[in-house]
């Protein structure tokens, strides 16, 4: 026999012995003033155990319970369980073309969401994550620790600087290294298709190394422009804004490598189809071995015996006797009489609240208001009544009740202030709405409340801005009339000066652009990611670097 939690015995026995020592050796206060013979005559005889005997029984009961907490077991056996899974690498495209916003908010952010959905929906797979542009980076090796993967993906900085270009060949090399110990090699690409028309080298490499490529296209045929960090749009060598579209030629890469190709969907249908295809084609392989032990539990024996002794100890307590039973009955009757009204009230209140909730769910807000009024004593009932008035478009009445609610419940107060702000907005009282939203944010940092507050602030700023703009326009008109005559004479001089300024600005902007590009080149990537070298890295930039 052994104990699974032997430390329980060591930690509990010492204080238990000390406690019982003080209880058993403690003398009654009467012992100080009376002898033993006198005490025996004064004391009422007890047909049950003495205090000392009862304390000893309680002590033994406590010992058995401590032994039960230590979990005694026998017949320990170790078992091995081999886990079989499909290993899948997910590669996400981080080239500049993924910054296009033809898919809201951008292709890259949408691809990150798809990546999280893949991990969420999968139950029989282990995943490794690769980030790729001109080079490939390992974000995570093959693992089934989905919690860590989610943290890495959610904190992935989409604004990190990666080299221009899209090198899928490097991604295949990295996939081959990560899955070198697996027979079935599966790769899911989240990409817009890059800018190549032929993928012969990639197809040959994938077929040679038995890599099945599955592609979820994260772009549209219509395409969109690429907005950079500085707010400008990416232009080509001629100065034209670049519009990047879905490269449908990448479909061949998946179809010729025993994989599958699918366009993105706003729901999870694309992910489900890809995962089902992988699980149907690939045979599960041993991923890792788990070991666990089994025992025959014995804790219920000392526990049951300890409880039995505890019952014996408590059964030895002397029974209470009351001489005047009528007095006791009268007291009980009075207690019941004074509480009867409260009991009935609580019962009726419960029924009223239930009726009010049903009316609210049925969108019968007038009835809900009337029902909530009947139980208008609690803060929650007042809040529900105010919400019903708000839904019934009686915003002023709802505001009065929201303001009258007093509660220590932080969550209720947050919802009260948030809804109060909404009600003030409906009554066009934007200043009070702003105060209500600010009070709500002090209690809870909520995204929806923040957005509402920003909209109210924007609405408050617009009239002031419009007034200032009108003033400026009037002043400009007066100034323009006075300067019309002078401008005619100075037109030639001004045009020359403007041309000189333009040439200087162009020179300055070119220098700033060079500095900005140098800073981007010197910027370091995430130190948690491992960069993988590729044999074909230089050949991928023959086309456009996005």
- CA-to-CA distance for 97 and 469, rounded, in angstroms? 39
Q: Which residues of the chain have pLDDT under 70?
A: 23-49, 79-83, 158-163, 285-292, 316-363, 365, 367-377, 463-473, 477, 481, 485, 487-531, 533-546
Residue 527 DSSP SS3: coil
DSSP-derived secondary structure for 177-192: HHTTT-SSEEEEEEE-
> Given this model, what pLDDT does residue 286 score?
63
Q: Where in the chain is the domain with CATH 3.40.50.410?
A: 82-289
Nearest to 317 by CA among 54, 515, 64, 6: 54
Q: Are strands 243-244 and 224-225 parallel, antiparallel or unpaired?
A: antiparallel
**Under a CB-based contact definition with an 8 Å cutoff, are residues 93 and 166 in contact?**
yes
**Under a CB-based contact definition with an 8 Å cutoff, are residues 382 and 420 in contact?**
no
**Under a CB-based contact definition with an 8 Å cutoff, are residues 215 and 162 in contact?**
no
Report DSSP state, residue 217: E
CA 468 from chain center: how many Å?
A: 44
Tokens at 338, concatenated: 């004074």
**Under a CB-based contact definition with an 8 Å cutoff, are residues 201 and 537 in contact?**
no
Cα radius of gyration (the chain):
39
**Under a CB-based contact definition with an 8 Å cutoff, are residues 166 and 219 in contact?**
no
3-state secondary structure 499-510: HHHHHHHHHHHH
> Given this model, what pLDDT does residue 34 score?
53
> Given this model, what pLDDT does residue 57 score?
84
> Given this model, what pLDDT does residue 511 score?
54
> How far, in Å, are 8, 10, 71, 317 from residue 16 at the CA level?
12, 11, 18, 22
82-289 to CATH, choices 3.20.20.70, 3.40.50.410, 1.25.40.10, 1.10.8.640 = 3.40.50.410
Tokens at 291, concatenated: 């070991």
> How far, in Å, are 118, 348, 538 from residue 130 at the CA level?
14, 62, 19
3-state secondary structure 130-173: EEECCCEEEEEEEECCHHHHHHHHHCCCCCCCCCCCCCHHHHHH
Burial class for 505, CB neighbours closer than 10 Å (0-12, 13-18, 19+): exposed
Q: Where in the chain is the domain with CATH 1.25.40.10?
A: 348-445
- CA-to-CA distance for 177 and 175, rounded, in angstroms? 5
Specify the CATH class of 348-445 in words: mainly alpha
3-state secondary structure 360-424: HHCCCHHHHHHHHHHCCCCHHHHHHHHHHHHHCCCHHHHHHHHHHCCCCCHHHHHHHHHHHHHHH
């Amino acid at each position: 026999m052994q104990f699974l939690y032997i430390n329980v015995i060591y930690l509990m026995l010492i204080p238990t012995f000390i406690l019982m020592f003080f209880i058993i050796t403690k003398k009654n206060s009467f012992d100080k003033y009376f002898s033993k013979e006198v005490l025996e005559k004064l004391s009422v005889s007890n047909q049950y155990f003495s205090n000392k005997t009862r304390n000893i029984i309680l002590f033994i009961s406590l010992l058995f319970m401590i032994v039960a907490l230590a979990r005694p077991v026998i017949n320990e056996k170790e078992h091995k369980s081999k886990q079989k899974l499909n290993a899948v690498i997910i590669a996400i495209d981080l080239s500049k073309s993924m910054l296009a916003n033809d898919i809201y908010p951008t292709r890259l952010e949408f691809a990150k969401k798809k990546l999280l959905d893949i991990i969420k929906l999968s139950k029989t797979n282990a995943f490794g994550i690769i980030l790729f542009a001109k080079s490939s980076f390992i974000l995570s090796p093959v693992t089934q620790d989905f919690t860590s993967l989610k943290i890495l993906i959610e904190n992935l900085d989409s604004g990190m600087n990666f080299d221009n270009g899209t090198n899928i060949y490097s991604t295949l090399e990295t996939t081959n290294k990560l899955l070198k110990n697996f027979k079935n090699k599966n790769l899911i690409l989240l990409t817009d298709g890059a800018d190549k028309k032929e993928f012969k080298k990639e197809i040959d490499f994938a077929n040679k190394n038995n890599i099945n490529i599955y592609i979820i296209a994260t772009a549209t045929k219509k395409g969109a422009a690429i907005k950079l960090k500085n707010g400008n749009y990416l232009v080509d060598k001629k100065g034209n804004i670049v519009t990047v579209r879905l490269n449908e030629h990448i479909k061949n890469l998946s179809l010729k490598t025993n994989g599958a190709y699918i366009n993105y969907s706003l729901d999870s249908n694309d992910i489900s189809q890809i995962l089902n295809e992988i699980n149907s084609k690939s045979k599960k392989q041993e991923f890792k071995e788990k070991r666990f032990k089994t025992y025959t539990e014995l804790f219920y024996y000392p526990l049951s015996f300890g409880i039995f002794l505890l019952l014996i100890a408590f059964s030895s307590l002397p029974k209470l006797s009351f001489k005047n039973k009528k007095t006791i009955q009268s007291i009980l009757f009075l207690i019941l009489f004074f509480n009867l009204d409260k009991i009935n009230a609580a019962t009726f209140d419960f029924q009223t609240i239930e009726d009010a909730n049903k009316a609210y769910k049925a969108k019968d807000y007038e009835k809900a208001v009337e029902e909530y009024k009947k139980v208008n004593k609690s803060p929650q009932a007042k809040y529900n009544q105010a919400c019903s008035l708000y839904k019934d478009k009686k915003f002023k009445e709802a505001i009065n009740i929201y303001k009258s609610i007093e509660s220590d419940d932080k969550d209720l107060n947050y919802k009260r202030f948030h809804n109060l702000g909404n009600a003030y907005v409906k009554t066009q009282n934007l200043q009070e709405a702003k105060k209500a939203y600010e009070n709500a944010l002090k209690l809870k940092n909520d995204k929806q409340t923040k957005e509402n507050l920003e909209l109210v602030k924007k609405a408050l700023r617009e009239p002031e801005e419009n007034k200032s703009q009108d003033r400026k326009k009037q002043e400009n008109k007066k100034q323009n009339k006075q300067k019309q005559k002078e401008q005619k004479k100075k037109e030639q001089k001004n045009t020359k000066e403007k041309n000189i300024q333009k040439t200087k600005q162009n020179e300055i902007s070119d220098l700033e652009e060079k500095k900005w590009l140098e800073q981007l080149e010197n910027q370091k990537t995430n130190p948690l990611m491992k960069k993988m070298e590729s044999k074909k890295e230089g050949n991928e930039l023959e086309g456009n670097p996005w």
